[in-house]
């Protein structure tokens, strides 16, 4: 009798943990300490060259679809094209005109955000894409201003995206965020004044649904000073971003959680069957 009761408790517990886990597993936070100090773009280490401009000076425009030249698995879906958005991010499937990041993932479509904020290149800066390196795409937001037409503070950052056939050097990864001086973090339409306040920039990844990987400083006041003169490498392991280079991936929190749910469920099932056998 006691064993049957325990079995039911364990079964219900695993169900509750499962439901709670759906909420808990939505966003994984990347610690700010994962950022590595540096003062250059990735391309500076290659001798320079950030490619060609992909958009005329604008506010909230997108360019694309642009061929990657390789296939990238992003949260379980394969993509061969992507969109470059003026507002510091790239997306898959469609371009994105949103200027204020919403929710921890930033947007409701698959997105990689080195620095998703209200970039306005009508006042300063441009967005560039370099495509001449096999299995590698580099997008640079170079000395870009912020909405509305402000050029008193600028931001310079770069996204590196590599295909599966790229021979990744030790210590690197397949997705890189590189930051030089980032002097602002909020546009006027996002509640900012003088480039700060309101809803600051989002940094990270989102699958467009419930899963995201975001820097701890993402959407927080002070994000600009956290990322300035730093870089970070990620690897897409089965399409899921993980900090650092390849090799043996650390089990994602989601995987550990599912393992725990499975073990609790198995234990409950065992007690339940034992009780049935006794009857």
Residues lying near other proteins in the complex (CB under 8 A) are found at 60, 97-100, 102, 147-149, 188-191, 198
Q: With respect to other proteins, which residue has the nearer C-beta, 14 or 89? A: 89
CB of 189 to other proteins, least distance (A): 4
CA nearest 259: which of 28, 17, 77?
17
CB of 188 to other proteins, least distance (A): 6
d(CA 67, CA 78): 13
Q: With respect to other proteins, which residue has the nearer C-beta, 164 or 197? A: 197
86-to-30, 92, 125, 193 alpha-carbon distances in Å: 24, 14, 11, 20
Q: With respect to other proteins, which residue has the nearer C-beta, 120 or 142? A: 120
Q: With respect to other proteins, which residue has the nearer C-beta, 8 or 122? A: 122
Q: With respect to other proteins, which residue has the nearer C-beta, 7 or 88? A: 88
As beta bridge partners, residue 198 has none
Rg (CA), the chain: 22
CB of 208 to other proteins, least distance (A): 13
Q: With respect to other proteins, which residue has the nearer C-beta, 66 or 149? A: 149
CB of 273 to other proteins, least distance (A): 46
Q: Give the contacts of 51 (CB within 8 A, at least 6 positions apart).
A: 128, 129, 130, 131, 132, 138, 140
CB of 117 to other proteins, least distance (A): 12
CB of 18 to other proteins, least distance (A): 27
- What does DSSP assign to residue 7? H
CB of 100 to other proteins, least distance (A): 5
- Measured over the CA atoms of residue 54, residue 56, residue 60 and residue 62, the dihedral's sign is negative
Q: With respect to other proteins, which residue has the nearer C-beta, 133 or 149? A: 149
Contact 221, 199 (CB under 8 A): no
Helix, strand or coil for residue 160?
A: strand
């Amino acid at each position: 009798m006691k064993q049957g009761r325990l079995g039911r408790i364990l079964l219900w517990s695993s169900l509750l943990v499962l439901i709670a886990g759906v909420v808990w597993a939505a966003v994984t936070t990347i610690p700010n300490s994962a950022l590595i100090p540096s003062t250059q773009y990735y391309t500076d280490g290659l001798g320079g060259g950030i490619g060609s401009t992909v958009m005329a000076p604008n506010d909230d425009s997108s360019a694309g679809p642009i061929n990657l030249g390789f296939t990238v698995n992003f949260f379980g879906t394969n993509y061969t094209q992507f969109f470059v958005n003026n507002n510091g991010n790239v997306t898959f499937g469609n371009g994105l005109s949103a200027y204020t990041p919403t929710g921890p993932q930033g947007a409701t479509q698959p997105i990689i955000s080195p620095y998703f904020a209200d970039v306005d290149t009508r006042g300063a800066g441009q967005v560039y894409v370099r495509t001449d390196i096999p299995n590698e795409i580099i997008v640079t937001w170079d000395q870009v201003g912020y909405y509305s037409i402000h050029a008193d503070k600028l931001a310079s950052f770069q996204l590196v995206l590599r295909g599966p056939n790229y021979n990744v050097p030790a210590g690197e990864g397949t997705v890189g965020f590189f930051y030089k001086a980032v002097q602002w973090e909020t546009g006027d339409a996002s509640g900012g004044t003088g480039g700060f306040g309101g809803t600051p920039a989002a940094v990270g990844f989102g699958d467009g649904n419930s899963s995201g990987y975001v820097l701890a400083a993402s959407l927080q006041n002070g994000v600009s000073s956290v990322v300035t003169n730093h870089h970070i490498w990620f690897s897409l392991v089965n399409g899921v971003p993980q900090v650092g280079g390849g090799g043996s991936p650390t089990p994602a929190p989601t995987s550990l959680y599912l393992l725990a749910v499975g073990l609790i469920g198995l234990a409950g099932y065992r007690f339940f069957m034992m009780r049935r056998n006794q009857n």
